[in-house]
Amino acid sequence: MTTVKKARKYKPLLSLDFDGVLHWYRNGWKGARYIDDEPVPGAVEFVREASQYFRIVVYSSRSSQPGGIEAMQAWMEKYGFPEVKFANDKPKAFLTIDDRAIQFNGTWFDPQELLKFKPWNKPADEED
Ligand SMILES: [Mg+2]
């Protein structure tokens, strides 16, 4: 028996954050147009593979700032990412990947516990 993977006609929207997800972002914020780190290891390959199953959109706090989208676009081109879309407003996504988010599952959080959150790429003792 031959298994043929049917190509989906409709690809759901996958929204990707930029800093801390695509851009390694080890040097912190220096302005919407200033992007000075490398891609997170595996990011290019992930976006390439995910593009087969999803429409990819990049949405960042840079998106609404002058030159932000152009800077992200140029940076992604430089590092060989496949072509993606950029959203100006929060996209109506099937799923979002963000380094500073937590999945809400119907049970509310303890706000004081939320204060302990640390992004994956920041040392535990570093303030940001
Ligand atoms: Mg981020």
User: Among 84, 80, 27, which residue's Cα sits nearest to residue 59?
Assistant: 84
For ligand 1, an ion, list residues with CB under 5 A. Answer: 17, 19-20, 99
| HEC assignment per residue over 12-25 | CEEEECCECCCECC
Query: pTM of the predicted model, to two decimals?
Result: 0.88
Each residue's pLDDT expressed in tens, for the chain with a length of 128 residues: 555 666 667 999 999 999 999 999 999 999 999 999 999 999 999 999 999 999 999 999 999 999 999 999 999 999 999 999 999 999 999 999 999 999 999 999 999 999 999 999 886 655 55
- Centre of ligand 1 from the C-alpha of residue 17, in Å: 5
Cα-to-centroid distance, 79 and ligand 1 (Å): 18
| Residue 40 contacts residue 21 (beta carbons within 8 Å) | yes
Of 17, 21, 14, nearest to 52 (Cα)?
A: 14
Residue 88 backbone phi and psi in degrees, to 5:
-90, -30
Closest to 19 in 3D by CA, of 6, 28, 8: 28
Q: What is the CA radius of gyration of the chain?
A: 17
Q: What fold is seen in the domain 13-114?
A: Rossmann fold (3.40.50)
The pairing of strands 55-58 and 13-16 is parallel
